[in-house]
Amino acid sequence: DAAWTLQAGRRLFNHRRAVVCRDAQDAQAALADPARREGGLHDRQNAALAFMFTGQGSQYVDMGLGLYEGEPVFRAEVDRCCELLRGPLSLDLRDVLYPRGGDPAAAAEQLKQTRLTQPALFVIEYALARLWMSWGLAPMAMIGHSVGEYVAAHLAGVFSLADALALVAERGRLMQEVAPGAMLAVPLAEAALRAYLGPGLDLAGVNAPSSSVVAGPVEAIGRLEQDLAGRGITARPLHTSHAFHSAMMDPILPAFVERVRQTERHPPTVRFVSNVTGTWITDAEAMDPEYWARHLRGTVRFSDGLRTLLAHESEPVLLEVGPGNTLASLARQHAAGERAGTAVASLRHPREAQPDRAFLLRALGKLWLAGVNIDWAAMHAGERRRRVEVPSYPFERQRYWVEPNRERELVDSLVQGFSPRRRELQDWFYQPSWRRFMDPDLLFPPSFPKEGAWLLFLDETGLGSVLAEQLTAAGQRVATVQPGPAFKVAGKDQFEIDPRGRGDYVALLKALRDGGRKPGFIVHLWGLTPESADPWPQRFDESQALGFYSLLFLAQALSREDVKQPVQLAVVTNHMQDVMGGELTCPEKATVLGPCRVIPEELTSVACHSFDIELSAPGSPEAALVSSRIVAELVAGRLEPMVAYRGSHRWVQSAEPTPLPPANGGGLLRDRGVYLVTGGLGGIGLVFSRHLAETRNARLVLTGRSSVPPREEWEGWLAARGEKDATSQRILQIRSLESAGGEVLYCVADVARLEDMQGVVAQARARFGSIQGLIHSAGVAGGGIIQLKDPDVAARVMAPKVQGTIVLDEVLKEEPLDFRVLCSSTAALIGGFGQVDYCAANAFLDAYAHSARGAAGPPTFSVNWDTWREVGMAVNTPVSGSLQMARDFNLKVGISPAEGVDALSRILAAGLPQLAVFTMDMRPLIWQAQTRRTAVKPDAAGAASAVEDQAAAVGEGLANDLERTVAVSWERILGRKSIGVNDNFFELGGDSLTALQVIGLLKARLQREIPIVMFYEAPTVGLLARALGEKPEDKPVALDEVEQRAGTRLELMQRRRRGREVEPALDPSR
């Protein structure tokens, strides 16, 4: 009644506030809670409204269930549609949408079927639109994304409801029948992306100024993803079964045109924007059956459509009518100068916990705040409301803020205060080495924490059992876990897990937490293995399950535990490091170094140490000594993250400067030599190929995953496509190499596939004879934090360097090679945020080179390259002013092609198995990385300066340090000012990618783990601060200090890697 009185009995003012509540008590609580109230200054009256209808991919089981149960109009329209669809679908769609008493998982699988997805989205969006319209919200214009345009067409009168439903059902059925395909979201503008589209690929959609979608066959999409990754562009595969809006739809077009032709059509009575043209649809287009075929097959020009809509003189408020907030987020990316409230979502995202009706009413409040007129009487239809006495408007002097602009500073002062000093080329080289060092503290019995909790991953050699006995005797609480078929409580403090089962690690930590045994020390011993006569490639898969993936899943489980207290993690291996020179090593184990180096950068409460040891008999004095030393290292919190024990001696890894003079003569290179270069047309591979062609008239066997047409078609291809086309670029590169004096055999091959590379070697022998040298430069850039890292994605990143090297070892074992060069990266030595898989892959290359030194075979060199310049997209891509500084830094300190060639010549002459190439002093960087990796306690100095940082947060309602900390972090990443306590991250233009950037900043400041799902569960500043649950005495580390720490070269390199999602750059290992 109070709401009705205010809605129907008060004149509208410019200063407005809206809350959603259940009763008087809840209203009182809502008005006192800044997170639950919307408000501000709004001077628009009778604002125009535009509907945006969501496309495929946003659907989920139970979408709109709260409205179906509580809103009669919505329920009636859903029921009406589902009855009309019984015939076309041969089922009741409500059983899939709302599986009451059924199987939600089975319903979710059904809803993934295109033949059901498209009708389901139409039904929900149509019913939602009718509900909005029943409340007096009639659209002046509409736009839909793909299938969403059919809802707009029906509401505009082009199709009747029954015909529209039948068309959408037939459309979904036909699309599901075509051959499977794939789609890839790419963060590039249309013009830039078209240069990469090879045969079989189509531009499926242009959604935003720098967001496009490509569709095509699965293999072609996979090659495109690899090609883009090789240029530093992180693309995202979409979860689709078919290649919509591509040539793969061509077979169904005649049947669909005929179906539309049989349907009655009328001119639209309400304007809507066409996906095909990106402009207002004409009467002729709306009634043309061929238009709807082009709509199914052609590019979804949603970005152009939004631009058309936003350019309308009425400046409409945009309302997304459908599940989630995808279109509202895209609209905010376009409306750089618009208000934050001009794009509103109707239905919650599946991860948002709000009730559907509360979410809808909150959207209604936002529309009212933006000046949209509401028919309040219609909204309360069927209710008996009366007016009550409420206070009149007192015209208090309330504070409000000007809506901030949307210009984003993507790189804040990246190079401020940093003066790079480039060294002479001869001083760029560093040799990873070992020095003997015994810390005196480790010679005395450790001071154990009282009732310390330990978790031991027991090995099959028995060392873990020795360690457990020592710890138990010292009064520590010890839990053990062994590999098994599934999670199992095997006894008191004894567990089994499936090493490959990600959920088992979560269950393990939950069981420990529930039993009050949350571990402060974790010793992972699954890298200890007994001697084996099997060649190491045969042990590879099991080694990865017990090593890299086990640590990845453990880290993901730790991130879910919201670790606040420091955790010391020890990863114990044998035969991984070649400390003494000439040791027999197992290179497959070296991938654990990826998690060892990256886990502490992403999980700031976890310190990680790698211990490589010599095995001794269980119960022997040597075994007792090494186990006691590992315990002492963890309890003392030593800084060295890479430690090896050989006998009684302790060794720590370091990097020794190794000046290399210019190479004299040709060294290992032959005139007209036959050289295999993987990734030979991109980045570093192309630089070295050109050098071999120019100086040695080499015969080059180049591999890549992107195809090139037959030579007789090159002239026609270049004439038709132009020189900027991606395939044209490859043709021109091959011609350039041949003009420089080389002969080129280009082979389309995946270096990680044995069959592909066997074919390459066979072609090379047939054309040139034996292969005499290898440069392995193929690779895929990593990206993505551990919390969200999918093991399949990690496997794709690791495949070219890891499986590729194994394959090359096999196919070239009979070739008289003079050398093998493996292009590794500095990531293997200093890690990098979001680079756990990429770091692991390069660590494997380094270990392989060392293992090959003691075996019969050609000299093998692993080169840890620093960033290169003058090649790749970093030089030619237009960037914003802030990114210009980052690029200028790269160009100033990076390796030029000529310098890289010179460096490689010196490395081949030196004959060392591994050398790192850094243009600046490397040793401080490694020391800084070690300190970051092993220091997990909050910094008091940083906490003391937090107040200066928080002073920058002036948004409305920020009541405490943590809210100000969250607000400032959002401001830095989103490029906004004056963010308030009740501002919503996604409504401010945030998305999952920007959430990851905020997480990285907040973790460094708050010294705790933050799961990304928290952003969906607590999307406002106030809710997120509350979820983080800071205690009154806690103080965050100042943002300024975080950025000062980022001023080191180490953090600059990490930022440069992360920044490639925005500014494509050359991967150092290519």
pLDDT digit string (tens) for 260-289?
Answer: 999 999 999 999 999 999 999 999 999 999
What is the C-alpha separation between 434 and 431, in angstroms, rounded?
A: 10
Q: Are residues 758 and 818 in the same domain?
A: yes
Q: If you average pLDDT over residues 501-525, what whole number do you get? A: 94
Tell whether 422 is covered by a domain. no
pLDDT above 60 for 115: yes
For 688-710, the pLDDT digits (tens) are 999 999 999 999 999 998 889 99
Predicted local distance difference test score (pLDDT) of residue 990: 75
What CATH code is carried by the domain that includes residue 580? 3.40.50.720
- Calculate mean pLDDT across residues 745-773: 96
Choose one of 352, 379, 406: the last residue of a domain. Answer: 379
How confident is the model at residue 548, as a pLDDT? Answer: 97
46 or 1041: which carries more pLDDT confidence? 46
Please report the DSSP string for 389-437 in residue order.
--PPP--------PPPP----SSSSTTTT----PPPGGG-EEEEEEEE-
**Where is average pLDDT lowest: 223-232, 443-452, 522-531?**
443-452
Distance CA 417, CA 885 (A): 13
Tell whether 288 and 309 lie within a shared domain.
Answer: yes
Residue-wise pLDDT tens digits, 205-256: 999 888 899 999 999 999 898 888 877 787 888 878 899 999 999 999 999 9
| pLDDT top residue among 406 and 746 | 746
Q: Are 549 and 499 in contact (CB under 8 A)?
A: yes
Residue 422: other Cβ atoms inside 10 A: 12
Mean pLDDT of 361-384: 81
**Cβ neighbours around 227 below 10 Å, total:** 21
pLDDT at 592: 97
* pLDDT of res. 978: 77
Say if residue 792 is in the same domain as residue 930.
yes
Does position 1050 have pLDDT exceeding 80, yes or no? no
Whether the pLDDT of residue 6 is over 80: the answer is no
At residue 379 the predicted structure's pLDDT band, cuts being 50, 70 and 90, is confident
Provide the pLDDT for residue 942: 32
CA neighbor of 703 nearest in space, from 771, 797, 603: 771
pLDDT score for 389: 54
CATH at 92 = 3.40.366.10
Chain segment 333-372, per-residue pLDDT in tens: 775 444 444 789 999 988 787 899 989 998 998 888 888 8
Residue 441 has pLDDT above 80, yes or no: no
Closest by alpha carbon to 263, among 288, 282, 283?
A: 288
pLDDT at residue 618, as a whole number? 73
Q: What is the pLDDT of residues 786-812, one digit of tens each?
A: 887 889 889 999 999 999 999 999 999
pLDDT of residue 873: 35
67 pLDDT band, cuts 50/70/90, is very high
Domain check: are 834 and 925 in the same one? yes
Please say which residue of 934, 953, 986 terminates a domain. Answer: 934
* 77 pLDDT higher than 80: yes
> Is the pLDDT reported for residue 399 higher than 50?
no
Contact present, 991 and 349 (Cβ < 8 Å): no
Whether residues 567 and 590 share a domain: the answer is yes
Please report whether residue 399 resides in a domain: no
Q: How far is CA 662 from CA 46, 185, 899, 902, in A?
A: 76, 46, 11, 8
Helices (H), 231-277: 253-261
pLDDT above 90: residue 777? yes
Tens of pLDDT, residue by residue over 1000-1018, are 778 767 766 677 778 877 8
Give burial (CB, 10 Å; 0-12/13-18/19+) of 790: exposed
- The predicted-structure confidence for 569-592, as pLDDT tens digits, reads as follows 999 999 999 998 878 889 999 999
Please check whether residue 992 lies inside any domain of the structure. Answer: yes
Q: Are 581 and 711 within one domain?
A: no
What is the DSSP secondary-structure string of 566-611? Answer: -EEEEEEEES----SSS----GGGGGGHHHHHHHHHHSTTEEEEEE
Q: What confidence tier does 769 reach under pLDDT thresholds 50, 70, 90?
A: very high
User: How much is the pLDDT for 1046?
Assistant: 34
Q: Which of 247, 197, 190 is nearest to 729 (CA)?
A: 197
Q: What's the pLDDT band for 391 if we cut at 50, 70, 90?
A: low
Distance (Å, whole) CA 177 – CA 206: 25
Asked if pLDDT for residue 884 goes beyond 70, the answer is no
Does residue 789 share a domain with residue 723?
yes
Residue 874 is predicted with a pLDDT of 36
* Structural domain count of the chain: 4
pLDDT of residue 337: 41
Does 640 map to a domain? yes
Residue 36 lies in a domain: no
Nearest of 180, 177, 190, 175 to residue 219 by alpha carbon: 180
Full DSSP string of 789-824:
--HHHHHHHHTTTHHHHHHHHHHTTTS--S-EEEEE
Per-residue pLDDT tens for 939-986?
A: 322 322 332 343 344 566 777 888 888 888 888 777 777 788 888 887
Amino acid at 692: L
Is the domain of 916 the same as that of 946? no
Q: Which domain holds residue 52?
A: 43-178+245-379
Q: Note whether 876 and 820 are same-domain residues.
A: yes
684: in domain: yes
The pLDDT of residue 960 is: 81
Residues 695 and 825 reside in one and the same domain: yes
Q: Which CATH number goes with the domain that contains 972?
A: 1.10.1200.10
pLDDT score at 237: 87
Q: What percent of the chain has pLDDT over 70?
A: 81
pLDDT tens, 460-499?
999 999 999 999 998 999 999 999 999 999 999 999 999 9
- pLDDT band at residue 3, thresholds of 50, 70 and 90? low
Can you give the pLDDT at residue 440? 66
Mean confidence (pLDDT) of the chain:
82
Q: Which pLDDT score, from 0 to 100, does residue 888 have?
A: 58
Instruction: Give the Å distances, CA to CA, from 247 to 149, 200, 201, 714.
Output: 20, 7, 8, 23
15 within domain boundaries: no
Question: Which of 437-441, 508-512, 852-856 has the highest average model confidence (pLDDT)?
Answer: 508-512
Cα 925 from Cα 932, distance rounded (Å): 11
Last residue of a domain, one of 880, 900, 934: 934
Q: What local confidence, expressed as pLDDT, does residue 315 receive? A: 81
Distance CA 422, CA 400 (A): 50
pLDDT of residue 335: 58
Cα torsion 137, 143, 147, 152: sign: positive
- pLDDT given for residue 353 in this prediction: 75
Q: Could you give the 3-state DSSP secondary structure of residue 299? A: coil
Mean pLDDT of 544-559: 95
**Torsion over CA of 122, 125, 129 and 132, rounded to 10 degrees?**
160
Are residues 618 and 471 located together in one domain of the fold? yes
pLDDT confidence band for 648 (50 / 70 / 90):
confident
In a domain, 196, yes or no: no
Co-location of 251 and 318 in the same domain = yes
